[in-house]
Amino acid sequence: MEPCSNDTNSQSTMELPLQLLVGSCLTILIVITLCGNIIVCLAVTLDRRLRSLTNCIIVSLAITDLLLGLLVLPFSAFYELTKEWPFGSTLCNIYTSLDVMLCTASILNLFMISLDRYFAVTTPLRYSQLVTSSRVTVGLVVIWTVSLMVSFLPIHLGWNTNGTAVQNTVSGCNKECTLEVNPVYGLVDALLTFYIPLVIMCITYYRIFKIAREQAKRINHTWCCSSNAPMPPMVKEHKATVTLAVVLGAFIVCWFPYFTVFTYRGMWGDGRVKGTLMSIVLWLGYTNSALNPILYGTLNRDFRMAYKHLLHCWRTGGPRSSEEAQDRGRSCRHSQDRQEGKPLKLEMRNGKGILLTDGALESTGASP
């Protein structure tokens, strides 16, 4: 048996200052991913107002991103810094499969959220009949089934490689751990898990934005004819536009470069894209898991209030006695009543069921 050579990995390791800088950035990203998604799960669990089918999908998204931060990102950061994989080929294939599965599930959860918002906005009167708990459960099962089918199944059967061999099992000296991509796997995976959902998401969010514009024009006309006061609906329309642009734009910016490179690797050669470019597009995709708690949490007024209550409880450390707990509970309820009873600047309803409030695009049929 030939001994392993020392240059098994053609990629040179980083210099120490650069390694410290990159390691610090990756650590911060991992911590934000973990903390943000934990807060989303706690907020929905502890706040009864957030217990709706829509937020069940958001919790599914948060759990998926949390698992990505726990099971994948630490290994990805270690491999990024050391440029070698010392844990063996079996663990490498499991890690790669988890990476593909959780990233796919995260994207498909975002896709499912866009469909839920679309039905809530376009058919608010039939929303409770269209979006039921059983259908949401079926949708989540489909998401995880598809995620398994494009990750563990092809990777452990060698369907993603050029040939019939399973990846990363050719040589025991190999210290690399990468996902191999052939033309069929690259095209099918990219279309099924990104490009087709992206097109449908663009259509659904365009329809939502179009309905919001139509409603804003009607409200502006009514406001102009019935009042001499300034017209806030245009401000509300602008905020709704920014919200939709941020949600969809962040998804595209984070994942489009990766799947473009992924498809290119499959069609024109797996070994053509390596090094810095591959690292950038990969971690840009991971960044979406850190942004999701912000985009799907803080852009919603109820989530913002739940976040504030959680942070307040953490700062105060919780009540020390049952009497104090009851007093604090009454105080919190009074505070929530004042918040909920506070008049909004604009709250209009029409046949489309749009409700533009507090900078977010919400629907009158969003919570069955």
- Residues 6+ away with beta carbon under 8 Å from 81: 14, 19, 22, 23, 26
For the chain, the domain total comes to 1
- If we measure between CA atoms, which residue out of 299, 197, 211, 319 comes closest to residue 251? 197
| CA-closest candidate to residue 69, choices 40, 112, 43 | 40
Residue 169 inside a domain? The answer is yes
Name the residue with tokens 């409030």: 357
Element holding 15 (H helix, E strand):
none
Q: Decide if 65 is inside a domain.
A: yes
Question: Whole-model pTM above 0.85?
Answer: no
Q: Which amino acid is at 292?
A: N
With respect to residue 6, please indicate whether it lies within any of the assigned structural domains.
Answer: no
CATH of the domain at 46: 1.20.1070.10
Instruction: Name the token pair of 49.
Output: 């107002």
88 falls within a domain = yes
Q: Is 284 among the domain residues?
A: yes
Domain of residue 40: give its range. Answer: 17-313
Neighbouring residues of 74: CB distance < 8 A, sequence distance ≥ 6: 30
CA 296 remoteness from chain centre:
8
Q: Amino acid letter at 189?
A: D
Integer Cα distance of 311 and 235 in angstroms: 30
Q: Tokens representing 50?
A: 């957030």
Going residue by residue through the chain, which has 368 residues, state the pLDDT in tens, using 9 for 90 and above.
Answer: 445 554 444 455 678 888 999 999 999 999 999 999 999 999 999 888 888 888 999 999 999 999 999 999 999 999 999 989 999 999 999 999 999 999 999 999 999 999 998 898 888 889 999 999 999 999 999 999 999 999 999 999 999 998 878 888 755 566 889 899 999 999 999 999 999 999 999 999 888 888 877 776 776 667 666 655 555 545 555 555 667 778 889 999 999 999 999 999 988 876 667 788 899 999 999 999 999 988 876 777 788 888 888 888 777 765 444 444 444 444 444 444 444 434 333 334 444 444 444 444 444 333 33
Which among 186, 182, 190, 151 is positioned nearest to 72, based on CA atoms?
A: 151
Q: What residues contact 228, with CB distance under 8 A and at least 6 apart?
A: none
Helices (H), ranges, the chain: 16-46, 53-71, 73-82, 89-122, 127-130, 133-149, 152-157, 183-190, 196-226, 233-268, 276-293, 301-316, 322-341
